[in-house]
Amino acid sequence: MSDVSFQLGIDIGGTFTDLSLLALDGGASHTHKVASTPSAPSRAVARGIRELMSSVGSAPDAISYFVHGQTIALNAVLERRGARSALIVSAGNGDILEIARLRKKDIFNLKASLPSTIVARQDVYEIPVRGDDADASAGLAAIDAVIAQLAPEVESVAICLLGAYNSDAVERQLAERIRETRPDLYLSCSSDLWSEIREYERASVASLNAYVQPIMSRYVDNLVIDTQEVGLDTALQITQSNGGVLSASSAKAKPVNTMLSGPASGVVAAAYVAGLSGVGDAVTLDIGGTSADFSIIRDEEPVYSTDAEIGDFPIVMPTVDVFAVGAGGGSIAWFDPFGILKLGPQSAGAEPGPACYNRGGTEATVTDAYLVAGYIDAGKFAGGSLSLKAENAFAAVGRIAERLGCSAEDASEAILRLGTATMTSAILPMMTKRGLDPRDFTLIAFGGAGPTHACLLAEEVGIGQILVPPSPGTMCALGATIADYQYNYIRSLRKPLTGIDADTMRAIYGELEQEGRDALAAENPMIERIEIVRSANMRYAGQAFDVDVTLPADLDIGALTPERLAEAFHDTYEALYHNSERDAAVDLVSLRVRVFGRRAKPSLPPARQRDDAGGLAAIGTRPIYHGGQAHEASVYRREDFCAGDSVAGPAVVEQFDTTTVVTPGFTARCDAAGNLLLTNAKREKRQ
Amino acid sequence: MTEKLSALRTDSAQLDIFVQRFRSIAEEMGYALQRTGHTAFVNETADLGVALVTPEGEIFGYPHSIGITMFANLDFTSMIGAFDSYAPGDVLICNDPYRSAGLSSHLPDISLLAPIFHDGTLVCFAYAYVHSTDVGGRVAGSLSPSSYEIYQEGIRIPPSHLYKAGELNEELINLILCNCRVPHDNWGDLKAMVTALRVADRRVGECVEKYGLAGVTDAMGDVLNYSEMRARAVIAGIPDGTYRFADYLDDDVVSDIPIKFCVALTVKGDEMEVDFTGTDSQLRTAFNIFSDGQAHPWLVYTIMFVLLTIDRDIPVNAGLMRSVSVVTQPGSVVNCKAPAAVGLRTTTGVRVQDAIRGALAQALPREIPAAGAGYIAPIVFTEPDLAKGGLKVNVLEPMVGGTGGHEDGDGLNARDVVDIANLRNSPIEIVESVSGVRILKYALRPDSGGAGKHRGGLGIVFEFEVLEHDCLVTARGQERHRFRPWGVLGGQCGEKAAVYIRRSGAAEFEPLDKIDSLQVDCGDVLRVLTPGGGGYGSPFERDPEMVLHDLRNGLISEQAARDAYGVVLKDGAVDSAATETLRKERGGQGQPAMFNFGPERDAYEAVWTEEAWARLIEHVFTLPVPLRASMRGRLWKAAQRLADERGTALTAADIDRCWTEAIPAGIAQRHTAQGGTPDAADMSKAS
């Protein structure tokens, strides 16, 4: 056993630190959970590694690849615990963070407040130079005075000059000058992080980066020390918001790229496991304690967004598109002053938690409703690590029932219907916004309660197929383990397509690609091959909404012409909106390159083949409430499923980290990859 | 309340599901429209609207996150009543305020309305509108303050069939597009709106299938009744009484005469009535609002925001405003008669809301902020198109100012009025890439926020250099150049707006009047300053540390810290003892006045007393509508001359004297002798 080497993925959440260990020979996969240690997160990591490896019977040095997902950077922003940072901008642009894009989010509130900025106005400095000036001397002449004025508490400096999307030269020279004088300061240049036109968004990215750089650096350094102490002997990789990984040293320089990595990793894992079952297009549903997170997978790849936000700060680099809806297991059911039943957005969270947790919570939550409706078993929640008190759930939901004048079971269904409605009302507009119809998709359910609620949601939005992965509770850690290296680059152009010649276009693609290859070489990773994905953002002249057109992988870059690009745009537009106009003028907004360092995918252990004649046996039955009536559901253990086993709803499938509810009308079948596929006889997938 | 609740036909556990679904359908419509729309208004500023409408003409499904947020109580009865019957596949089109009871409030807002049928029964209507870039008329973009007839503002489309039973009315669409400057964009927008209507048709159909026709119909009525109940509960909590207030627009661009808006707001039980009697007569410029005498959103939208500020949880639909009514005089600026021009109704509508908030502030001092900037003006730059010939027209930035301070905190910087439209600005880098300007400054305007315990938000300084020859700048909607945003409860006024220019080669900036249409040339530098919001509470009650914070961050000057806030500083820290002494010394005796209007308005009203103004309006309204604007001008000027000569306040008797002297005898006697207001309604019908 000690000859086998492993890949380790770790995801730190607020409550638990999850570990996912894959043997490189594909022989086994292991998962482990330990309580997080928020004050010194790397300690839980070290402890988890020690425990997991000793249970596997291997030494930590058998781990040859170690990827880590963290929320340190994100939480530092959300809780405003980052470093005091300064921001250097071009003259006249000092209020860039204050003015932002003018938008007021809390629209109907006359007394709305804005989130506090991460760089105080007094720490913003204007210098008389622009990013695309040919001569940086005016800026260099001013920068020494700025350095001298910095408050002693300032630990990091962000630079975002107007025009720096055109050229990084001036920002770079300023950074060099600062580094010479003050090597102790952390530096973030907008053109280095993401060189897209739109100065506020770049300033936001650079400021966020500066804000978390010191905290992230200290954290990574501690983690390396702590894991080396338990015997780990491999370079650390960190997951990114784009679903890829990067080296620990890059993460220290560009922590802004890691801020939304947690949910992104879950989607990467979902895309991967779904691909094993031949599912390419999917909507993921991850229900945790406070929210339900959705994302979209097309052709086995997560869909990226370029308008993600952290708090109110825009993140314009490509980010796995995850949107959260305030309907989680802890969401509280309540009555408004007129006796109308409502759900959330208030959540009981983990403390005190749902009433059934028996930790002082008395209000009825979605989890309590699952329990009353028979969807989960009080004795087997979270692998039995948390014993639920059913009386509490019945009492809490019973109070709702009393006011509604119905049974506790009916009330539990009413609560779950509200949860379903909240999710539906969020997911349909989000899909339409992206030009998609959920009925064309498979629902991949994971997280603690995703598989529990999946049938209810699928019924409501008309999705015909659900996929539940083998280990729905540790998808983020799995995603970290299998993620590829990924770097994104952009060049803003904003020109009529006819105003740019083929050579220039090819040269830009070449430069962006080379940047990625250089970055990859510097990381020195274990990769199988390099893959380049080129795309171009285009629009009809006059439109402000542009479309990201991915160029075919087999396209010969030497043969790329503006005409070819236009054709690709018309085709994509036609596919999306069915009204392309082939003779209309097209604007080229930007060229983009994604550079992947593809890693050998570890094979997950396939489903067992059935070797006994008896077939799958239920371990018992219990009533579940659905559609206003009780159904006697057979209860199965997930680990008993072998390839090809199939059960018809009503049924319940229990496993360590979740419970899958198969409502009447759905049939659950375990496929060769070990995924559970639930199909609705009435609504087969359309495609 | 309970008997009303029992009148709801929808189960109390189901109602919120419908609330969410209806809103979600509307949001889907909005996203579908935005993604496929053509003009900048759709894409950049989301000046678009969508809704689900009952057969009785009330909005029951309305989006939150997209589009214009203030139109939730638009009245569709007139538009729906334009035809006796509807068939599946019909789509109605209309943009004429006078033929749709103000459904479209100016001509660029092209409205589409489509019936949604289920098995031959009309379920509801779907609605979409877009602010088109141009609908013809005397100026590009169709909107000009100096237009004085609606015929100058573009093509008027009465309610007509764009599609009849699915068949496109090609002759009509050709006629419309033939009258527009950018027909291609208009057609693109129309198609996008039709796409949005189809989304609604499909989703409503799904709802009917799931909940039955009666279930959905009942729910439509119930969500309206529910919002109404909750709104009434809020109004019932407002002290009964009649609250009076008046506010002004500086002038009507063709004269110096301020436009006065008088409000007497009566709260009685759970109802609210806004009486505009005494408000100015309709103008021979484009500042009129056609409200048809109803509680049109442009007259009362702020009340919706107030109700939602107090109770965040009320579903946004027409029910919210059922308990609000208005009294308007026909032929007044808030209820104009055809063919008055209405293009600039936003400028007027924004000030009308200031007047209503001033009235409500007396009833709800803890809920209503001091006046915001009340200013929204796009800086439009026209230059020769050197590449294509002709002219290039672009919006540089939408100019807005600060919001007012309030009980819970300071006003917001540069966020006033942006909430009615989900408005965003344009990145400087993009502005400079499309227009021949260089932006020298886009920053907050220090000391512009009214001093107060809670300071008003700051306005903007926008400064740009013209880089091309023979250019033109317009900025419709510039306001508060004369009368300042008022402060409340001892708070001071916000700073007023201003414009300066430094002509090429000149050393100094010189002040300019509001920009109507300004010729500029290469090398000229224009500086636009927007107003700050009013302050709330006495500045001497502001925490000195907050004053110091504002000073350190450059939001106020050292002089303001001492003079306006009475804070004495010593070595960069607050000198508490000296501050206390100074504040005591300078603090006035007793309660401050409810409002602080600033010296300009105080001086104006010292001449134009309430009594004098009321008499002027009384006289003017004895005249037929077409004569009012010019005779109002004569009478005002005569009285102003009298006041200037005499140097005292005007009385009612003065106005009577001027009326007899200044107004041609025939006109004055003929109409006064008839005793009262001629019924202007006949005249507008006849037009």
pLDDT the model gives residue A3:
63
CB-based contact, A116 to chain B, within 8 Å: no
List the domain range (segments joined by +) for residue A51.
1-65
**Could you report how far apart the first and last alpha carbons of chain B are, in Å?**
46
Residue range B345-400, pLDDT digits in tens = 999 999 999 999 999 999 999 999 999 999 999 898 999 988 878 788 888 999 99
Go through chain B and tell me how many residues it has.
Answer: 687
The nearest CA of chain A is from the CA of B614 a distance in Å of 31
The nearest CA of chain B is from the CA of A264 a distance in Å of 24
Q: Is residue A577 part of a domain?
A: yes
Q: Looking at the predicted structure, is the pLDDT value of residue B685 above 50?
A: no
Q: Is residue A113 part of a domain?
A: yes
Mean pLDDT within B497-502: 98
Residue range A385-411, pLDDT digits in tens = 678 999 999 999 999 999 999 999 999
Question: Which 3 state secondary structure label does DSSP give A238?
Answer: strand
Q: Are strands B518-520 and B525-529 parallel, antiparallel or unpaired?
A: unpaired
Mean pLDDT within B174-181: 94
Residues of chain B found within 8 Å of residue A404, distances taken between Cβ atoms: 12-13
| CB pair distance less than 8 Å for A340 and B309 | no
Task: Output the pTM of the full model.
Answer: 0.92
Tell the residue number behind the tokens 């579903």, with chain if given: B315
- Give the CA distances from residue B596 to residues B164, B250, B358, B533, in Å, rounded to whole numbers and listed in that order: 57, 17, 11, 12
From the DSSP assignment, how many helices (H) and strands (E) are in chain A? 16, 33
Residues of chain B found within 8 Å of residue A428, distances taken between Cβ atoms: 24-25, 28, 203
Q: Which of B424, B427, B442 sits opposite A92 (nearest CB)?
A: B442
Residues A86 and A193 in one domain: yes
Q: Which amino acid is at B253?
A: V
Q: Which of B21, B34, B226 sits opposite A338 (nearest CB)?
A: B226
Question: Which 3 state secondary structure label does DSSP give A624?
Answer: strand
CB interface of A with B, residues 233-272, below 8 Å: none
Cα–Cα distance, A62 to A48 (Å, whole number): 15
Q: Which two tokens stand for residue A365?
A: 């939550």
Residue range A276-320, pLDDT digits in tens = 999 999 999 999 888 899 999 999 999 998 889 888 899 999 999
CB-based contact, A93 to chain B, within 8 Å: yes
H or E segment to which residue A323 belongs: strand A322-325
Q: Looking at the predicted structure, is the pLDDT value of residue B683 above 60?
A: no
- Residue B111: closest CA among B132, B99, B128: B128
Question: Which positions ≥6 away from B106 have C-beta within 8 Å?
Answer: B97, B143, B153, B342, B343, B345
DSSP annotation of B332:
B
Give the pLDDT band (50/70/90) at residue B681. Answer: very low
Residues A94 and A183 in one domain: yes
CB interface of A with B, residues 379-438, below 8 Å: 404, 411, 414, 417-418, 421-422, 424-426, 428-429, 432-433, 435
Q: Which two tokens stand for residue A358?
A: 């028996």
Q: What is the chain A residue with the closest CA to B188?
A: A579
Cα–Cα distance, A183 to A192 (Å, whole number): 18
Question: Which 3 state secondary structure label does DSSP give B153?
Answer: helix
Residues A542 and A584 in one domain: yes
Alpha-helical regions (H) of B237-296? none
Give the pLDDT band (50/70/90) at residue B676. Answer: very low
Q: Is residue A8 part of a domain?
A: yes
- Residue A479: closest CA among A220, A233, A261, A216: A261
User: How many C-beta atoms surround the C-beta of residue A84 within 10 A?
Assistant: 18
User: How many C-beta atoms surround the C-beta of residue A103 within 10 A?
Assistant: 15
CB-based contact, A110 to chain B, within 8 Å: yes
Residue range B186-237, pLDDT digits in tens = 898 899 899 999 999 999 999 999 899 999 999 999 999 999 999 999 999 9
Q: What is the chain B residue with the closest CA to A100?
A: B425
CB-based contact, A98 to chain B, within 8 Å: yes
What torsion, rounded to 10 degrees, do the Cα atoms B415, B417, B423, B428 define? -50
Residues A350 and A404 in one domain: yes
Question: Which 3 state secondary structure label does DSSP give B653?
Answer: helix
Q: What is the rounded average pLDDT for all residues in chain B?
A: 92
pLDDT the model gives residue A589:
93
Residues A122 and A172 in one domain: yes
Residues A59 and A165 in one domain: no
Whether residue A409 contacts residue A379, with contact meaning beta carbons closer than 8 Å, is answered with: no
Q: What is the chain A residue with the closest CA to B1?
A: A338
Q: Which two tokens stand for residue B676?
A: 């009262």
Q: Which amino acid is at A352?
A: P
Q: Which two tokens stand for residue A558?
A: 């030497």
For the CA atoms of chain B, what is the radius of gyration?
Answer: 26
**Could you report how far apart the first and last alpha carbons of chain A are, in Å?**
45
Can you point out the beta strands (E) in B376-517?
A: 376-384, 391-400, 437-444, 460-466, 471-474, 487-488, 498-502, 510-512
The CATH number linked to A162 is 3.40.50
Q: Is residue A373 part of a domain?
A: yes
Mean pLDDT within B420-448: 92
From A392-396, B409-413, B415-419, the region with the lowest mean pLDDT: B415-419
Residue range A17-47, pLDDT digits in tens = 888 888 877 667 888 888 888 778 888 888 9
Question: Which positions ≥6 away from A399 have C-beta within 8 Å?
Answer: A364
Cα–Cα distance, A136 to A129 (Å, whole number): 7
pLDDT the model gives residue B44:
56
Long-range CB pairs of B598-605, under 8 A, 24+ apart, other chains included: B598/B483, B598/B484, B598/B486, B598/B493, B598/B496, B600/B482, B600/B483, B600/B484, B600/B496, B601/B248, B601/B483, B601/B484, B601/B486, B604/B248, B604/B258, B604/B483
pLDDT the model gives residue A687:
39
Q: Which two tokens stand for residue A269?
A: 């894992």
Q: Is residue A466 part of a domain?
A: no
Report cis status (omega within 30 of 0) of the bond before A650: yes
| CB pair distance less than 8 Å for B367 and A111 | yes
Cα–Cα distance, B656 to B676 (Å, whole number): 15
Residues A56 and A87 in one domain: no
| CB pair distance less than 8 Å for A545 and B64 | no
Q: Looking at the predicted structure, is the pLDDT value of residue A234 above 60?
A: yes
| Boundary-marking domain end, from A161, A178, A207 | A207
Q: Which of A93, A102, A165 sits opposite B424 (nearest CB)?
A: A102
Q: Which amino acid is at A648?
A: A
Whether residue B88 contacts residue A126, with contact meaning beta carbons closer than 8 Å, is answered with: no
Cα–Cα distance, B523 to B121 (Å, whole number): 65
Whether residue B68 contacts residue B54, with contact meaning beta carbons closer than 8 Å, is answered with: no
Residues A17 and A118 in one domain: no
Residue range A533-589, pLDDT digits in tens = 999 999 888 676 788 999 988 888 888 899 999 999 999 888 877 667 888 889 999
pLDDT the model gives residue B674:
46
Question: Which 3 state secondary structure label does DSSP give A200?
Answer: helix
Cα–Cα distance, A30 to A1 (Å, whole number): 14
Residue range A461-475, pLDDT digits in tens = 989 999 999 989 888
Q: Which of B40, B308, B415 sits opposite A102 (nearest CB)?
A: B415
Whether residue A295 contacts residue A445, with contact meaning beta carbons closer than 8 Å, is answered with: no
- Give the CA distances from residue B133 to residues A542, B37, B182, B427, in Å, rounded to whole numbers and listed in that order: 11, 12, 8, 20
Cα–Cα distance, B609 to B619 (Å, whole number): 16
- Residue A127: closest CA among A112, A114, A137, A113: A137
Residues of chain B found within 8 Å of residue A114, distances taken between Cβ atoms: 412, 415
ipTM of the complex: 0.92
Tell the residue number behind the tokens 């306006």, with chain if given: B564
Phi, psi at residue A415, to the nearest 5°? -65, -45
> In terms of pLDDT, which residue wins out, A34 or A590?
A590
pLDDT the model gives residue B1:
44
User: How many C-beta atoms surround the C-beta of residue B626 within 10 A?
Assistant: 15
What torsion, rounded to 10 degrees, do the Cα atoms B238, B239, B243, B249 define? -20
Query: Where on the phi/psi map is residue B57: left (φ > 0), alpha (ψ -120 to 50), or beta?
Result: left
Q: Which two tokens stand for residue B611?
A: 């009594």
From A30-39, A670-679, B477-486, B622-631, the region with the lowest mean pLDDT: A30-39
Q: Looking at the predicted structure, is the pLDDT value of residue A132 above 60?
A: yes
Residues A135 and A169 in one domain: yes
User: How many C-beta atoms surround the C-beta of residue A125 within 10 A?
Assistant: 19
As for how many domains chain A has, the answer is 4
Q: Which of B23, B369, B413 sits opposite A98 (nearest CB)?
A: B413
Q: Is residue A194 part of a domain?
A: yes
Residues A96 and A179 in one domain: yes
Mean pLDDT within A342-358: 88
- Give the CA distances from residue A91 to residues A169, B422, B634, in Å, rounded to whole numbers and listed in that order: 18, 29, 50
The nearest CA of chain A is from the CA of B360 a distance in Å of 13
- Give the CA distances from residue A99 to residues A204, B92, B456, B459, B532, in Å, rounded to whole numbers and listed in that order: 12, 41, 15, 10, 14
Burial B405-442, CB ≥16 within 10 A → b, else e = bbbeebbbbbbbbbbbbbbebbbbbbbbbebbbbbbbb
Q: Which of B203, B233, B369 sits opposite A337 (nearest CB)?
A: B233
Q: Looking at the predicted structure, is the pLDDT value of residue B179 above 60?
A: yes
| CB pair distance less than 8 Å for B24 and A429 | yes
- Give the CA distances from residue A565 to residues A252, A508, A543, A593, B38, in Å, rounded to whole numbers and listed in that order: 37, 14, 17, 15, 21
- Residue A32: closest CA among A12, A15, A49: A49
Whether residue A303 contacts residue A263, with contact meaning beta carbons closer than 8 Å, is answered with: no
Question: Which 3 state secondary structure label does DSSP give B229?
Answer: helix
Give the pLDDT band (50/70/90) at residue B34. Answer: confident
pLDDT the model gives residue B395:
84
Q: Which of A91, A201, A340 sits opposite B15 (nearest CB)?
A: A340
Q: Is residue A460 part of a domain?
A: no
Q: Is residue A55 part of a domain?
A: yes
Q: Looking at the predicted structure, is the pLDDT value of residue B101 above 80?
A: yes
| Boundary-marking domain end, from A373, A397, A419 | A419
Q: Which of B3, B5, B10, B17 to mutate to test the interface with A (most CBs of A within 10 A)?
A: B17
Residues A90 and A19 in one domain: no
Give the pLDDT band (50/70/90) at residue B669. Answer: low
pLDDT the model gives residue A42:
83
Q: Which of A108, A114, A338 sits opposite B412 (nearest CB)?
A: A114
Residues A22 and A139 in one domain: no
Cα–Cα distance, A662 to A631 (Å, whole number): 11
Residue range A186-222, pLDDT digits in tens = 999 999 999 999 999 999 999 999 999 999 999 999 9
| CB pair distance less than 8 Å for A429 and B27 | yes
Q: Looking at the predicted structure, is the pLDDT value of residue B137 above 50?
A: yes
Q: Which of B428, B461, B528 to mutate to test the interface with A (most CBs of A within 10 A)?
A: B428
Cα–Cα distance, B56 to B319 (Å, whole number): 13
Residues of chain B found within 8 Å of residue A98, distances taken between Cβ atoms: 413-414, 444
Residue range A154-167, pLDDT digits in tens = 999 999 999 999 99
Q: Which two tokens stand for residue A687?
A: 């495609």
- Residue A131: closest CA among A190, A205, A181: A190
